Structure 1
């Protein structure tokens, strides 16, 4: 049985290195590693001898699905993601496989077997576009009117004087909401955590954490921007970040 030629695309260096190592241990030939969607788009513009792309979905810039939807002729793809919702949407086509982070060798072995048996076919751009979830937007105030903001750009929501602010690091935008409960109800599948009575965190935006001297943690959401997690919510926040494959 020939060795599969694989490309690994992931913006997390540790995850990328781990998957490459597991693939090599399984007898695959890892022909390259990339760290973002734009690099993949440039890579795909040239003819390449590759059997499969192991592709992280959530990456800076265009995500994995968005890149593939722009490519007319793409090799078979295995999506690698920490978000089960994306994985299920992909697998429902019976056309791609997926690996949930963290990747383990037994699940990877089943995936490689499907690839060897040619059960993972190439997707057309139209099929890939059906996998893309609709953009999640909400209105924010801008002068005398409103504009729509993408939820995926927001790091957290903050309640101040009975008004909810959508925050992107240090930048804040006033919304229509008056309580954080309204935000949670608007986006029930986003997995937000109430880390303080007045703070609602999107854990997928956390870049790192550090402990404090009083049994709490601080989460970094942007360079030099941290939020303090309450003592009561520290254990749940840690568990949630582990589920997001964030080293803690």
Structure 2
């Protein structure tokens, strides 16, 4: 599957460079070159893309302002000649930040991050479909020599350790040898969300989300880079 790319930059030479780079990468497909943010907004209102290569400094509407107007933006790679915008890129959850002039190897490093994100989303989608039929009732988990009943509403989060998985409730920590993938299939999709390769959280137990971390019952849970977009999309609709 090719990754659809939108390039937004007011400099003709910058557009031509990005176009040539995309053509050289066999897993990328150019969807559109836009010379203004408004042209990009119009295109996005009628089309979907996997990644936007977005220049920051543009007249009228900056790249950062354009990004803030998008309700559910795709992956974004910011491009600029000004290194001082790196903090803004971090706060807006950009996948990467490319300084002009952009070397082709550095471009490839950035798009490989997007490729990993797209692959992760594709792998998550079938799992979510399977989980929509999960029972609203309890599940029974093998823990050592015991079989333990766990009510979904009691679960705060689930954490993968080196050689076992912990199901955390307010009262208990239940260890099991089941994999995270197996547990995810047992949990109702509307209540639980994988936010890191080592963490599944109960959405209703989330207290705050700040700077890539979720707080549940005084426990800080990291949001993995590959799961960040999925978390943002789910939380928006809560």
| Alignment TM-score, normalising by the size of structure 2 | 0.47
Greater share of residues in helix = 2
| Alignment TM-score, normalising by the size of structure 1 | 0.46
